[in-house]
Amino acid sequence: MIGSNTTFGVFIACLQVLFRHRRYIFFTVFFFLLPLYVAINRLFLFLDYILFSNFQKKEIKDPVLIMGFNRSGTTFFHHLLSKSDQFTTSTTWDFIIPSISLKKILWFIRPTLSFLDIDQLETKEKGHKVALDDIEEDEMLLFLHKLDSKWISNNLIPWMKYDKKFKSFTSELYIDSKKNEKRNINSMHFCREFWKRQTAYQGGKQLLSKSNPFIFRLKSIMKVFPDAKIIFIVRDPIDTITSFFSMQERIKFGNLMTKEELNLYRNEAYKEIIDWYQETENAKQFLDKKHFIVLTYGELQANLYESVVKSFNFIGQEMNTNFKDILSEKSSIKHVKKHQNKTIDDFGFTAKQVKKDFAFVYEEYFS
C-alpha cells in the first residue's frame, strides 16, 4: 500500500522522492534491481528451512547489542570485542546474502572480488570503511531486505528527510509506536532468524550485534529478546554532530547533494539527533539496570582496557588470553585521526545552541 509502513509502501515512497528530486538514473536502478534482489533472497531464505533446517534449533540467548548515536565509537567497540572470537558476528557479505543456501551457490563471488581488489564499498578515509569481509552493523540487514531502517533517509535517499510531502511519513518510520508495532516485531523476528543462521554457522557463540538506530525500537527488541544486554556508548554531541555531518559530505549519497540540499538535510537530521540522545535516556528509565551499561567515548579513550573488562563482566564472559594480549596492545596505541572534521559553525550551528538543545546530555555525562 502506498504511503504505508511496509516494505512495498516504503519502496514506493522512495521512488516518489527520487522522481520528485529528479534522480532519474537512481530511480531506474532502484526500481528494477531492488525488487529482484529482495525476491531472490526471500526465495533462498525460504529454501533454508527445507535444506538447512537445523539452524532453527538454535536459541538466541543473552544477545549483546551495542547502541549509540553515529560517530560515538560504537563501530570501534564492536570491532574490538569481535576480535576476541568469543561472539557470533556478521560481515557485510552476510547481510547482502543472508541465506545459507544462496551463500553456497555464490561462494566464488567474495574471493573473486577480493582478488580483483573491488570488495570495498566505502573507504576508511571517508569515515567508515565498508568491505565485504568486514564486521558490519546489523542495521544493514533490515536496510537491504525490508527497507525498515534509518539508513534509508540518513544515507541512501537523504532527500526523504526534508521533502515536504514525505518528511512526516519518514520521521514516523521505524520508531516504536502503536502504528509501527506489527512491523517492528516482524523485523525483530527477521533478525532473530538471521542470527540463528549465523549462530549455527559459528558454533553457537553468544551473539554480538551493533545497530545504532535500534535505540528507536528498543521496546520491540526487548519483547522479542527479553534477556538482551545493551551497551550504550555516549559521546559529546558537538563531536558526534561535526563528525557525522563531515562524513555525510564524503560518502554516498550525501556527496551527491547540493549545498542547499545538505543544509535542508542537516536541519532535519539535527532534530533527529536530539531524539536519538533522548531515546537513550528514556531507555535507561524503562530498562532493568541488569540489562544495560553506559560507556562514554572519553572512557574508551582514557581507559580502554577497563571499559572492555567492565563490558565482559556485564556480558557474563571471561576474556580469553589471546584477546587480553590484543587488548593490551590496542590500549597502548594512541588513536590518530585519518581525516579532519569541520567545526560545528561550518554546519550552521553554534556550540552554545548545541549545549542548550542537548543540556540533558551534558548534565548527565559531561558536567
Q: How many helices (H) and strands (E) does the chain have?
A: 18, 7
- How many residues would you count in the chain? 367
> Is residue 1 one of the residues assigned to a domain?
no
**288 in helix, strand or coil?**
coil
> Is residue 220 one of the residues assigned to a domain?
yes
Burial class (CB in 10 A: 0-12, 13-18, 19+), 260: exposed
Burial class (CB in 10 A: 0-12, 13-18, 19+), 324: middle
CATH code assigned at 69: 3.40.50.300
**pTM for this model (two decimals):** 0.94
> Residue 203 belongs to what domain range?
7-365
Nearest-angstrom CA–CA distance, 198 and 204: 8
> Is residue 333 one of the residues assigned to a domain?
yes
Would you state the cell numbers that stand for residue 52, as one nine-digit string? 538447512
> Is residue 2 one of the residues assigned to a domain?
no
Nearest-angstrom CA–CA distance, 64 and 60: 10
Considering its fold, how many domains does the chain have in total? Answer: 1
How does pLDDT run along the chain (367 residues), one tens digit per residue?
446 889 999 999 999 999 999 999 999 999 999 999 999 999 999 999 999 999 999 999 999 999 999 999 999 999 999 999 999 999 999 999 999 999 999 999 999 998 999 888 777 666 667 889 999 999 999 999 999 999 999 989 999 999 999 999 999 999 999 999 999 999 999 999 999 999 999 999 999 999 999 999 999 999 999 999 999 999 999 999 999 999 888 876 667 889 899 999 999 999 999 999 999 999 999 999 999 999 999 999 999 999 999 999 999 999 999 999 999 999 988 766 666 788 999 999 999 999 999 999 999 999 8
Nearest-angstrom CA–CA distance, 131 and 128: 10
Cβ pair 232, 113 in contact under 8 A: no
Cβ pair 350, 344 in contact under 8 A: yes
